Each structure stands twice: as C-alpha cells, then as structure tokens.
Amino acid sequence: MYPYGDTRTQTQPVYDDRDERAARWTLRFLAIGAFVAVLGITVFVSLVALHDEEAPAQKAAPAAPVETVTTVAAPPRVGPAPGTEIGGYVTARKAALAAVNDERVAVVSSTKYLTEAQAKTLVGSAPIVALLVAPPGTGPAVVTGDLAAWAKTATAATTAERDEIKKLIPTVTDPAFKTFYNAEVARLDKALKGFAPTSPIVFGVVVKGQPAPLQALGARADVRLVDVAESATPGPNAEYRGLRPEETAKADEPSMRPA
C-alpha cells in the first residue's frame, strides 16, 4: 500500500535559522557603527572649521584699551584756605615760623593796605616773589610781574565787564536782577578808580628769606602774619593767600575788599 515507504512514522526535518538571525544582527551592528563613525567625523570636521574661522578673528581683534587714571597733585598753597578760622590759624602759623631753621618762601600780611613802595620798604632786602593786591570793590589777586602792567590789564578787563552789564540791564525785566546788575555797575565803577598802581592796594608780599629775617618781620607791629611755606621753592604754580585787613573771623570773608 505504501510503495514509497510508510511516511507516517518518518520525522520531518526541523529548519535552524539561528545563523541567519546572527548574520542579520551583525549587519545591523555594522550599519549602526558606520553611521556613528560618519556622524562623529562630521561633527569633528565642523568643530575644526568653526575653530579655524574664529581663530583669525580672535587674533585680529585688538586688545581692549586699558584706561589709565592720572592723578594730578594740587599745587602747593601758602596761606589759609577759604573758610579757615583765622584765630587758630594765626596761632599755629606763628609757632611754625618760630620753629623754622632754613630758608623759606613766606607770605607777609600787613595790618593795612599799602602802596607798592610802602610794601617793598616793609620787607626790606628780602627777595620779592609776588605782591598780593586787592583794589576796592574787587577780590584778591597775585601779581608776579610789573604792578603797573597788571593794573592796565585789570582796568581793561573790568571796563569790559562793566560795559557788558550795562548793555544787559535794559533787557532785564525782573526787578531783583535789575537791582543786582545796577549794584554791580556801581561796584565796578568804584573799582576802576582804585586800580592805579600808586594807590594803596597791596595787603601782602610773598618773599624768600632766612629764618632770622622772617622771624624779625613776624615780630613787627605792622605785620599781621608771616606764613612760611614748606620750602624755599614751592614751584611756579604755587597758590599764595594772605590775610586782608577786613578778614577778621574767617579767611576769604568777605570775598571782596569793600568798595
């Protein structure tokens, strides 16, 4: 009945696909590895190119400038600063004069206003560095050159200032301002009469001297104060301040000599 044998008792062969699956996974891993490698190379090349583009810009960019702060020292001052209490200042500076033992520059303040000739007589043979002057109706000034030349320049400047105020007055409508400007014109008119170099406008003399002559000056009844500097060469930009006769309580009060 079964010429080709009895197939009922034959065992069907079983197909084993493990090798095929292993081959498929191997191909997948290889593909993934290749993709990762390509991606890594791409990123690396991009970073190198970006760095190469930025490097020249960084090299070419100029360094930020460094700000240099220069501190300018204030010029040396001989004399009281505005607002200084005069009583205590005079006491301290007299003690400083008594302790001097070398040549110094000093500001000699008189008890009253003097002419140029009187001021030179007061300080005797001491070399004069400058004159301190204050014509009526003006503030103090330091004259290091010829007094007559200074008076000529000051007269011209004061005349110009007065004339400008006169032009301004007709345009002012505020009564307070008009009163102020009229008072300024009156003050400057009086000041112009006192600029003569032979008039008593000198209240101080800046001199250079040895201790003994300076101390002798400080002991005179017609000398208010001999204010010594720290050295005999305070420099060309030194600020000299004396005591005017009308300054009794605080330095620079009033700021102008009464007209």
Instruction: Name, in order, each residue with C-beta under 8 angstroms of 238's C-beta and a sequence gap of 6 or more.
Output: 75, 76, 77, 78, 105, 229
| pLDDT level of residue 14 (50, 70, 90 thresholds) | very low
Find the helix or strand (DSSP H, E) in which 202 lies: strand 202-209
Tell me the pTM: 0.69
3-state secondary structure of 61: coil
Q: How far apart are CA 10 and CA 2, in angstroms?
A: 13
pLDDT of residue 32: 53
* pLDDT at site 233: 84
Interval 182-229: pLDDT, tens = 999 999 998 888 888 899 999 999 999 999 999 999 999 999 999 999
Written as one string, the DSSP assignment of 102-169 is: S-EEEEEEEEEEE-HHHHHHHHTTSPEEEEEE--TTS--EEE-S-HHHHHHHHHHHHHHHHHHHHHHG
Instruction: Measure the CA–CA gap between 131 and 203, rounded to whole angstroms.
Output: 8
- Summarised one tens digit per residue, pLDDT across range 121-130 is 999 999 999 9
Residue with the bigger pLDDT between 29 and 235: it is: 235
For residue 172, what pLDDT is reported? Answer: 87
**Mean of per-residue pLDDT scores for the chain:** 81
What is the phi/psi pair of residue 126, to 5°?
A: -65, 130
